[in-house]
Amino acid sequence: MVEIRRTPSTRRRKMANHFTEQVAKKEALRMKALRHKDETVWFGLGMFGIVGWAVAIPTLVGIAFGLWIDRTWPSSYSWALMFLIAGVLVGCMNAAYWVRKVRSKIIEEDEDDELQS
């Protein structure tokens, strides 16, 4: 007769707990995906567009303003270069603001959904 080895009850309990945790994690991930099913690839591309324009517009405005100053009042300093750098900095701060705003909105929605569950 073949002898069946049984695992100790504490080990069996650990394995069951680990399995339960894995199932719970996968279920939470699935539920999150169902809540955010409208946010497809197009949502991500739209975010790239917002971030891109948030940086590009202040940069272009800075360059245009700098070129105008360079043509109007010639000097040994390149105002276009200085306003280019200022425009990029302002654009990066603007992009960071938009990303932070969308991220906090997503986190807030997730917390609201968890409270309702």
Determine the pLDDT at residue 65.
96
Do 104 and 92 belong together in one domain? yes
Do 20 and 46 belong together in one domain? no
- pLDDT string in tens for the chain (117-residue length): 566 666 667 877 888 888 899 988 888 878 777 766 666 777 778 878 888 899 999 999 999 999 999 999 998 999 999 999 999 999 999 999 988 988 888 788 777 766 665
Residue 107 lies in a domain: yes
Do 72 and 84 belong together in one domain? yes
Residue 18 lies in a domain: yes
Do 56 and 106 belong together in one domain? yes
Q: What is Dmax (Cα atoms) for the chain? A: 102
Query: Domain containing 14: what range?
Result: 6-35
Residue 24 lies in a domain: yes
Spell 47-60 as b/e; 16+ CB within 10 A means b.
Answer: eeebbeebbeebbe
Give this prediction's pTM: 0.62
Do 30 and 75 belong together in one domain? no
Determine the pLDDT at residue 66.
96
In this structure, which amino acid lies at residue 70?
A: D
Structural domain count of the chain: 2
Do 29 and 61 belong together in one domain? no
Determine the pLDDT at residue 86.
97
